[in-house]
Structure 1
Amino acid sequence: MDRSIAEIEEHELRSVWENEERDFTRWLTENIDLLSAELGIEIEDARAEEAIGDFSADIVAREMNTGETIVIENQYSKTDHDHLGKLLTYSAGKRAGFTMWLAEEFRPEHRSVLEWLNESGPKDVKFFAIKPRVVSIEGSEKRGFEFEVIVEPNDWERELSDEESLTETEKGYKEFFAYLVEAYAERRPSWYKLTPGPRGYMTFSAGITGVSFGWVFHQGPEFSIELYISTSEKERNEAIFETLQDDREEIESNLDVELVWQQLPEKQACRIKWPKPIEGKITDLTPEQQAELIEWGVDAMDIFQDEVEPRVAELQGSDL
């Protein structure tokens, strides 16, 4: 072995987060976008310790594209029957579309249960076994973090990437956002270039975990530029929204447009959007209409980001 290449060392989760419920679960709730990126889905409205009957699930969230409920059960050390029972109870109680068990080590029999459920269980539920790992380079005090997917639904990777499995609408979204991403990256060369997916939205961070800019297709139909505020705490979301709303007159004057301010009391999140009516669904739009929409989306996001991003940055160091 080349001794110039250091080995990777793995550490217990409690070496960073002492308590699973109080520390790790709440950290994961606030950084749920890391799990989103690993699995290739959009997770929003993550809430810790949500009540289900007389019990409480570690994390309950929502998949933004499908609206399906996500249930996450966390466990330090090796998996056991008690946590398996909780996982299935919470999943059934919430009628979850995604059920995720995070643990440091999976017993073979528990892996087999999740594989069997993906093979023979409810067809509308996807089961995952995921190992969260704290790692470091040999001799270094710095810690890194990653997820290792141990069990996933059958053909999950193919489902995410296989063009043949996509509907015409999903193909339309993916192609539209591919062109939009290229155009926005050309406008802002330093912007982190996103990978388009088969969904009716494209989001990127606004500087605070849980707060993002987005291009979104909505019913109406309409296409909008927006700021979506969805941290793990409803009160914090509302405080950020209200702080920005205090500057509404100035923001709208600078943009020369009247925005739509939605506190969304029925949800955990809040939204500020700049909508544009369109002629129909993505599959109804002509190439010329799509090109015009992309041009508008680039121009509008460019000035919207310039106006709003510094205001969000000021909130990063505040009590919000």
Structure 2
Amino acid sequence: MINTSTDNVGLTTLGRLEKIDVREYWKREDSDFTPWLAETSNIQLLSEAIGIELEVEAQEKQVGPFRADILCKDTANDHWVLIENQLERTDHIHLGQLLTYAAGLNAVTIVWIAARFTEEHRAALDWLNEISNEDFNFFGLEIELWKIGKSAVAPKFNIISKPNDWSKSITGAAKSIQSDSLTDAKKLQHDYWSAFRQYAFEHGQRIQPTKALYQNWMNIAIGRSGFILNAIASTWNSQLQSYASHEIRAMLKIDHNQAQLCFDFFHKQQKQLEAEFGEALIWDSLPDRKSCLIYVRKSVDLNNRDDWDTQHAWLTQKLEKLHMIFSGRIKKLDIDSLDSESLTGEEV
């Protein structure tokens, strides 16, 4: 007879998860939890939980008659993200404040963080996501604290309610069809980005594509407002100067009020950056515009759906590389210290 027993030889004893009352760690929302969450490393935890790259703009920011706990920017589209904290069970007062915030802004994502959500308030957020257009998004998250034995306490965000991107996309498409504005070209663009988004999620590690829209580009956050990665699918071939062939681009767009200084700062590091990237980059300062571009391009046939996997693989690889070499530099960049004189001299 074969002995199938196990003696657990060499195995260490597993610990037991212990849930900690959030009020034991954060006594007050305004002076303890909100400042903690606004720290870069902690707002990143929230970013990972909801899939939005957040940059803190202000704490205790006045919005209409109320003060939002934390005001952020979604670095992928520069839209506002308002965070409301409640270290207790959700209530109608906070729900009313969230609606007031949304009413005062043209496009906003509301993030409601609480120790516990009632079923009524979860259902209310689900309903708001269902009836709102794609400019308004509502998240509900429960914050928990856990530890094992004498280990440090670890936070955990659990999503209770989130936007239904699929239903909003369908609603938007229906409106477009109804107004006869959804052309074959627009349908192709949406299909292209839907397929790219799926490919990037399955094969990428760094980039987080946004939802597919009816346009020739997709924004991808790189961690700071004023800087964005773009995936471009254009029916105009810039190299051939012709519509007979198409092109795709993986691009860093600097769309900051000091875009030229930021561009010049990176251009001084061209040799080092291109060595890290593995090939030459195209540097376009766009002197007649407020933005600057750094990108690579490839000629393709966008109508050839059989080639989309190859195109999406190229875009994913190049965008991942751009993110890898620029993200850290962008986050550390002290823009206020840049000036024309500091950028003169030899390349670094």
TM-score, normalised to structure 1's length? Answer: 0.60
1-structure distance, mates of 2:119, 2:201: 43
Deviation at 1:104, TM superposition (A): 0.8
Counterpart residue number, 1:20? 29
Write the distance in 2 (CA, Å) between the matches of 1:47 and 1:85: 23
Q: Which residue of 2 aligns with 1:173?
A: 193
Alpha-carbon separation, structure 2, partners of 1:213 and 1:16: 36
Residue 138 of structure 2 aligns to a residue whose secondary structure is: strand
CA distance in 1, matches of 2:229, 2:142: 30
Q: 1:94 to 1:144 in 2, by over 3 A?
A: same
Larger Rg: 2
Deviation per CA, 1:103-137: give whole Å up to 9, x if none. 11234554454355456x54664433210222112
**Cα 1:76/1:91, change in 2 over 3 Å:** same
Partner of 2:150: 140
- Map Cα deviations across residues 206-262 of structure 1 (whole Å, 9 max, x no partner): xxx659984522889762332779xxxx9xx979x9678435223268635452469
- 1:223 corresponds to which letter in structure 2? R
| SS state at 1:246 partner | helix
Change (3 A) 1:82 1:271: farther
Relative to 1, partners in 2 of residues 1:246 and 1:56: Cα closer, same or farther, differing over 3 Å? same
Q: Which residue of 2 aligns with 1:225?
A: 251
In the alignment of these two chains, the number of paired residues is 284
Work out which of the residue numbers 223, 227, 231 in structure 2 matches 1:216.
231
The within-5 A match list for 1:280-319 is: 284=303, 291=310, 295=314, 298=317, 302=321, 308=326
Structure 1, gaps ≥5 residues long: 186-190
Report which stretch shifted further, 165-174 or 49-58.
165-174
Partner Cα separation in structure 2 for residue 193 and residue 33 of structure 1: 14
Q: Cα gap change, 1:249/1:115 in structure 2, threshold over 3 Å: closer, same or farther?
A: closer
Partners of 1:271 and 1:133 lie apart in 2 by: 42
Question: How big is the alpha-carbon RMSD for the aligned residues of Structure 1 and Structure 2?
Answer: 5.2
Q: Is the 8 A contact 2:29 2:87 kept in 1?
A: yes
One-letter code aligned to 1:259: W
Cα distance between partner residues in 2 of 1:245 and 1:117: 45
Task: Supply the distance in 2 between the matched residues of 1:271 and 1:23 (Cα, whole angstroms).
Answer: 40
Change (3 A) 1:286 1:43: same
- The residue aligned with 1:249 is 268
- C-alpha spacing 1:133/1:123, structure 2 compared with 1 (3 Å): same
Secondary structure of the 1:140 match is coil
Distance 1:147 1:45 in 2: 18
Q: Secondary structure at the match of 2:104?
A: helix
What one-letter code is carried by the residue in structure 1 that aligns with 2:15?
A
In structure 1, distance between residues paired with 2:122 and 2:269? 55
Q: 1 CA distance for matches of 2:267 and 2:106?
A: 39
Alpha-carbon separation, structure 1, partners of 2:75 and 2:160 = 24
How many angstroms does 1:271 deviate by? 7.3
Counterpart of 1:188 in structure 2 is: none
Q: 1:75 Cα shift?
A: 1.4
The TM-score with structure 2 as length reference comes to 0.56
Query: Percent identity between the aligned chains?
Result: 23
Once residues 314 and 68 of structure 1 are traced to their aligned partners in structure 2, the CA distance between those partners, rounded to angstroms, is: 22
Structure 1 distance, partners of 2:102, 2:158, is 22
1:21 aligned partner, one-letter code: D
* 66, 74, 92: which one aligns with 1:81: 92
1:273 aligns with 2:294: yes
Say which is worse superposed, 172-181 or 68-77, in terms of deviation.
Answer: 172-181
